[in-house]
Structures are given as C-alpha cells and as structure tokens.
Structure 1
Amino acid sequence: MIDLSLCMIVRDERGLLPAALRSVAGLVREMVVVDTGSRDGTPEVAAAHGARVVAFPWNDDFSAARNVSLELATSAWILVLDADEVLAPRDHAALSALLSGEPALYQLVQTTYTTASGVFGYLPNQLGVPEAEGYPGYFESSLVRLFPREARFRFQGLIHEHCVDLRGELQPVPTGLRLHHYGKVALDERQRRRKMELYLALSERKAEVVGGSTPWYELGMQLWEVGRFGEAEQAFTRSLETAKRPGRILCAKGSLLLHVRRTEEALELFRRAEHAEPEEPLPLLLQSSALLELGRTAECVPLLRRLAARTPKDFQVFNNLGVLQLATNEPERAMVSLEKALKLGGAQEHVLLNLGLAAIDLGRFAELEDLRQRMLQSHPRSLRLYELWGGRLLSRGRTELLGRVFPDLPDCDDPMVRCLRGLQRLREGKQVEARAEFQKALASNPEHPLAASLLAAAGGTST
C-alpha cells in the first residue's frame, strides 16, 4: 500500500460517503474525515469504513475545513475527495505511479454528471466506463486533488476552493485521471436546495470580498442555475472587467442572454468571444445557434462548414446543421445530419426532439414512435416533445395523428399537454371536456399561442 492519505470534509453525507470510501480502499494508507456538523450519522458511517473522524465546527469557509484535514494527515502524499465523488479502481495504478516522481500539484478531472443538456460546458457522455452509465452528459473541471503533504500546499477560497503552493513555485500538472462526481444527480430536492443556498451565499461573499474575474464568473454560473438571470448577467459583466482571457465568460454571458431570448445581444457577445480567442470553436458553435434562433439561415452555412472541418466529432455541429436543414425544408438531409449527431452525442434531448421533427416532416411515424420511446426512457420528465412535436403536427394540419403520436398523454398542467388532450376529446366528440381542457391551458398560461384560438374554435370562452 502506498504512503497516501485520503482527506475529506463531510456533512450529512451518509448516503453517498460509503461509495467514495470504497473507491479508494486498498489504495490509501489512511482515511481522514473532517465532519463539519452532520446530524444523519455520517461520522459513524465513516468510522465503520475505517476512517479517522474529527469534528470541526462549520465556519462558512470550505478552505478552513479542508486545511484541517491536511494537518491531520500523516502520509507523504494526500488525495482529496468529496463524499459525492469516486475514483475508479482501474485508475489506482496510474495514480500510484505519479507518486514516485518529484513533488507536484496534480490535477484530476472532476467529471460532474448531469441530466441537463442545457448546462453551459455540457459534454455528451461517451466515456464508456461503468461509473458513467445512465447519465446523458457531464461537465468537467480540472482540480488539484493530489499533492505532497507539505505545509506550503494549502487550500484557499471560501468556496470553489483550490489548492495552491504558498511559495508560488509549483504550478498544477494535468493527469487526465477522472473523479466521477454525482452531486448533481444523487441528491434529493431538499438536499439540493440546501446545498445551493449555502453555495450561493458563500459565492456572493467571495465575489464581494475577494473580487476578481473568477469569483464573479462562478457567482454568475450559480445565479443562472437558480434562475436569477438578471443578477447572473451582472455577475458576468463584473467578471469581464478584469478577465485576462474573456472568451469563455463572453460565451457564458451570451448563452444566458440566448436562454432569455435576447438573441441579438447574445450573437454580439459570441462574436466578441471569437475575436478574443479565434482558436476556440465554441464561439462559432454558439453563433450558429443564435443565427438559427433569428432565422438567419444563410449566415449559418459558412459557420457550420468551418465547424464541421475543425470539430468533425462535435455532435452539436451536426445538430445545428440538422436544424438548419429543417428550416430550409430539407428533411431528408436533416435526418442524416441529426442521426450523425445522435451517433456522436448519444440520446441528447434536443437531438431526439429534432429527429422527431424530421420524422414528422417525412411522414415516418414508425420512427417517430421509436424516438418517443427513447425520449420517455432517457428524459422522462421532459415535456418539450409535446410542445415541439404537437406544434409541428398542428402546423401541418395533421390533427388526426395526435392520438397515434401521443397515445398516453401525461397527467399534468402543462398548457400544450392540455391543448393536445382537448383536441383528442374533440375528435371523440366530447365538446364539453375539450373546452374544459382548453380553459385550463389558458388559465395556466394566458399567453399560450394555441389555447385561446382552440377554445374559441370549440365554442368556448375564457373564464
């Protein structure tokens, strides 16, 4: 066994902690767990797995707790894990080999799994490893998590803390080894909300007290995640004021504006990002998305050609190409592009949805049923297929196909689902029930583009 200490800080992590500890069993010589106030039996779980557990009162400073764990370690090297992370056993040998060299601040790739394909920095899951199974995508952060036990290596930052060399002699060294991070997918709603509130409060304090580009960027991302879009925009603006490489921040701010339908402003930010970092493909991809939103398809063509040449394995490029071909009434070509996007990126929600639109345009309803089943399996909570596919069928005047395409509508208050159910009731001759569905849709969203017209056509009035 190598001379390596595992150092962790935890609080109320009894559900996730065992997997983290088991993932390094046989690799580390000791496990040091600093508990910052658990009330769910986490310390007992840690001790049962052989960890040395020490209590440390929470003081709103992640680095302070981290550094206590470092001071308690006794091995020559330190590995830092969070309770919602695991290290794959197959990577033990590669990690061990690193410890025979000179002192270094080794970066591991925190691979945060997510079901939200709209997350900025999202990557489709093509890792092909057991730890990644069942998750459509992830995003990455390179973090220093492996380093010698020396007093000069300490964590800094109230939140989003990072390990630094206090002498300033060593810089981080990438390793490519992954930490599989399940924090976005393993917590229940109460745990997620509590964690987000804590992180947001500390991020706000860090940005105000410490300042600088990175803390304001981190705050912007967290504000975006909780839906505080105006404040997120302001945080990104503050981040840009001192950014040395503004490209990614411009892309993040532009993506936020694209999300809230300020598309022209978003497009300008993406162009600024391209000018700032012309070697990066992301600004081009985001420009193509904005141009598609604006219906400026002619301007999209050269962008997508450049992207396809530079990033031939990027599923987003082929998804956008498929959207462009749908917009220019080329559904056959769109189907080819979107199937390539599906092959490259897996069952991403928006790719499946766009494939469904192409299938509707081509009248391939057997394929559409296969896509519907994949949507329900991969994205069971998504309601977008009813809005997009239902809207496409209605725009094509194919209301007789609604029952075939949507044989079992979910029981929910989504206005489009209400409209589709109402149309099915009309086809069954149930006028009163149909009007009731349209009225509920209108009550849910008074500005829904279909609800009012369908209600009027059914001989009803809004209440």
Structure 2
Amino acid sequence: MNGSPIDPKIVGCVIVKDEQRFLADCLTSMRQFCDEIVVVDTGSRDRTPDIARAHADRVSSYPFSGNFSDARNHALDLVDGADWVLFLDADERIHPRQAEALRSTLGAADAGVGGISMLRYNFFPSGGFYSGNVLKLFRADPRIRYERRVNESVKGSLARAGYKVADSPALLTHIGHMRSRVERDRKAELYMRLMREQLAAAPDDAILTGYIGLNLRILGRFSEALDLSAQALAIDDGNATVWAFRGHVLRSTGETSEARQAYARALELRPSDGGMQNMIGCCEASAGRLDEADELFAAAFRTDPRLVHTVLNRGLVAQARGDFPTAEARLLEAAGLFPPLLTEDPVGRMETDPLHTLYFETMTGYAGLAHHLAYVRGCREGWLSPIRVSARAED
C-alpha cells in the first residue's frame, strides 16, 4: 500500500488495558489489512505493553479517565498520513477471508462514504453468540472524533461532516465474552456505572435507557430490565432499536409471545432488518411452529446474507424435525460461510453461567456449532439414537 487513492494508507488503532490474552492475535489479524498499527495503553499491569511493542508501530500510554472516547481520540491524534483508520478492540479479530471482503468494500467506496460498518459476531465459551452492526473503519479526517464516555461512536461526527456510512459484507469476530464469568460480570458492572452516569446527563436517551435494561438481564436483574425497556419505549416508541431491546428482554424472561410482538413492531419500523426476522423465527421455533420458523430464517438470509446464523438456525430446525442429513448439510454450510462459528472455549464451556444463553440469536438450547454437528452426524450415521418426543403445543 502506498497511500494513493487506489491504494489508500490504512492505520489500525487499539486502546488496551490488561489484554495480554487477546492482543497479539488481534494485532496479527490487523496486519492483513493495515499499513501501520497504533496501540494506546490505558494502565495495564500485565504484559500488554510488551506485546504491543512487539507487534505495533507506535505505542503510547494514556491514563484512563473514565471516558473511553478520550482514549480513542488520543489514538487518533497519533495517526499520521493515513487515508483510513481501522479501530478494533483487543478481543476482536478479522478472519483472513473477511479481510478480503473488507478491502473490496473499501475499494468500492466513493468520496461520500466516510465510514464502513461490519456485522460483528460476539462469542461466548459455549460457542453461542449474538450479533450487531459496528462501525470500525472510517476516514482519517480530523473532524471525525469519538463521542460519549461509553458506547462511544464516530457516527455523530461523520454525519456532521456530511459523510454516509456503507455496509460491508465482511464479518468481525469478537471473543471478549470468552473471559471468565467473574471478568465478564466485572466489566458489565463498570459499563453499567458509566452508562448510568451518561444517562444522568441525557435522561431522554431512549436507546441508552433500553441498552442499560438489556445489560441488566445478564446480571439476573430482570425486573429492572423490564422497567427500563418500558421506560425507553415511553421516551420513543417509534424507534426500532428500542423495540428490539424490549423483545430481547421479554424473551429472556420467558414471555415469548410478547417478545415476538415486540420484534414484529421493530420489523414494521425497519422492514429491511433481517435480524428481527431471525428473532421472530426463534420465537416461532420456541412455540413449536417449525415450518414458520424455517421460512423466517430463510427470509432473513435473503434480506441480509451477512446473517450466516440464519443458515445455522435452519439446520437446527432440520435437527428438531429429525431430518439429520439436511441438518448436517446446513450446519456445514454455515461453518463454511463463517468458520469462526466453530469458536468455543473448552474450559469456559464448563463454567456455571445460566444467564449468558439469554444473549444467543439462535433457537433455544443452542450448544455450539461443533456440538450440533457431532450430534446430527451421529444420528445420521446411526451411532446415536435420538429420543423422539411429541411436538410442543403452541403458546
């Protein structure tokens, strides 16, 4: 790469604190795409700074002030002569095939595109996951800065600078939830405190209100989660994201029918949202309506081919029907589309954490792609004998 318009210079940035377990793999994956890498350490007490110096072109220290945007913007201040910035977290990485897809998106971007978003898969030790769009690649324009002390973003500054955001077919892998349950809960409590401080300064922020509720469910605080998701709707009941948050909270409390209605309302407000089609499909499957679920999963993939877990969900439908050859074919198709779906942590899988499954965007009972592949193959080859049960009654 030489920095020309045809071959833009891309600088990767990461802010870190005590990330020795993840950082080397993150920076190695960034080298597939970036010309230079900048790491900002915010107070590590482990080997993180040494790893950063071994893999990055520039390493800087910046004491954490309780505001993540400050640290990110310090990293941007260190970027020199770049056309684009790729900003990842230490527990994120780009699979080789996805680096090519991201490079193709960048090559096709016109002058009006200032940011490029990807679908990120967030994995847990069992192989379960949830997904969401994230804006990680943007122009190295001094007007583009991070805002908000937590859940920080450059979207506001991109809009004010007159840029649009393009979607990439590239998928991003996030394995931060592979940390121990104690670590996950500690981080959740920190983010919760910062989000509440942010909400106190902007109490009419419907998305932040709903997001706090969304996070409370993973701590088992379901009553508070329901209250906050209802408060978010009272602030703005015309926001699809707020309705999606409401659906996630209701699903976690076992109110599947109500969750389906919330997802359906989100889909009405944002008809091109394949993610909501997938979640309605999950609700249909929970009610025993497998045909309807399968149709919704297929429709979601047509709407947004990045949602490779909809192919996986169709495999789970076939498994539930006892159609093991079809189940195996679809599960293998999902693995081929995005190999990180096979990600899991054998030690972490043994932990006691009944709440993390509430995040999964799969049919209830999902136990990881490798597990289901082994099960359906065993049933197909005859060395496993599945127990047959009657279909569930609709709720």
Report the TM-score, using the length of structure 2 for normalisation: 0.68
What stretches of structure 1 of length at least 5 have no aligned partner? 117-134, 293-299, 324-333, 354-363, 372-388, 394-463
Q: Flag the 1:256–1:341 CA change in 2: closer, same or farther, 3 A.
A: farther
Aligned to 2:190: 198
1:109 to 118, 137, 140: 118
Paired residues of 2:120 and 2:134 also in contact (CA < 8 A) = no
Paired residues of 1:285 and 1:304 also in contact (CA < 8 A) = yes
2:166 to 164, 173, 179: 173
Q: Please list the CA deviations of residues 406-439 of structure 1 after superposition, one character each: whole Å capped at 9, or x if unmatched.
A: xxxxxxxxxxxxxxxxxxxxxxxxxxxxxxxxxx
1:52 to 58, 67, 75: 58
CA distance in 2, matches of 1:320, 1:94: 29
CA distance in 2, matches of 1:157, 1:226: 24
Q: Flag the 1:152–1:308 CA change in 2: closer, same or farther, 3 A.
A: closer
Greater CA radius of gyration, 1 or 2?
A: 1
Which amino acid in structure 2 is aligned with residue 335 of structure 1?
G
Mapping 1:59-458, distance limit 5 Å: 59-77=65-83, 78-92=85-99, 95=102, 98=106, 102=111, 104-115=113-124, 136-163=127-154, 164-165=157-158, 167-185=160-178, 187-210=179-202, 211-243=204-236, 245-263=238-256, 265-266=258-259, 268-270=261-263, 272-273=265-266, 276=269, 281-282=277-278, 284-289=280-285, 291-292=287-288, 300=289, 303-304=292-293, 307=296, 310=299, 314=311, 316=313, 319=316, 334-336=321-323, 340-341=326-327, 343-345=329-331, 350=365, 367=382, 369=384
CA distance in 2, matches of 1:80, 1:182: 16
CA distance in 1, matches of 2:97, 2:315: 34
Q: Please list the CA deviations of residues 345-397 of structure 1 after superposition, one character each: whole Å capped at 9, or x if unmatched.
A: 469883689xxxxxxxxxx99958466xxxxxxxxxxxxxxxxx7x979xxxx
Paired residues of 2:118 and 2:136 also in contact (CA < 8 A) = no
Shift of 1:314: 4.9
CA distance in 2, matches of 1:245, 1:140: 22
RMSD: 3.9
Which amino acid in structure 1 is aligned with residue 23 of structure 2?
L
CA distance in 1, matches of 2:124, 2:116: 25
Q: Secondary structure at 2:177's aligned position in 1? A: coil
Q: Please list the CA deviations of residues 158-204 of structure 1 after superposition, one character each: whole Å capped at 9, or x if unmatched.
A: 2221113263411211122233221112x233432322221222222
Paired residues of 1:105 and 1:147 also in contact (CA < 8 A) = yes
CA distance in 1, matches of 2:72, 2:98: 24
What stretches of structure 2 of length at least 5 have no aligned partner? 3-8, 302-309, 333-341, 343-361, 369-378, 391-395
CA distance in 1, matches of 2:163, 2:54: 37
Q: Secondary structure at 1:38's aligned position in 2? A: coil
Q: Please list the CA deviations of residues 71-95 of structure 1 after superposition, one character each: whole Å capped at 9, or x if unmatched.
A: 1111223221111112234555555
Q: Please list the CA deviations of residues 429-462 of structure 1 after superposition, one character each: whole Å capped at 9, or x if unmatched.
A: xxxxxxxxxxxxxxxxxxxxxxxxxxxxxxxxxx
Shift of 1:153: 0.5
Identity %, equivalent residues: 25
Paired residues of 2:244 and 2:266 also in contact (CA < 8 A) = yes
Which amino acid in structure 2 is aligned with residue 88 of structure 1?
H
Q: Secondary structure at 2:160's aligned position in 1? A: coil
Aligned to 1:413: none
Paired residues of 1:270 and 1:287 also in contact (CA < 8 A) = no
Aligned to 1:422: none
Q: Please list the CA deviations of residues 42-73 of structure 1 after superposition, one character each: whole Å capped at 9, or x if unmatched.
A: 11221122432211111111111101100111
Aligned length: 328
Report the TM-score, using the length of structure 1 for normalisation: 0.59
Q: Flag the 1:137–1:151 CA change in 2: closer, same or farther, 3 A.
A: same
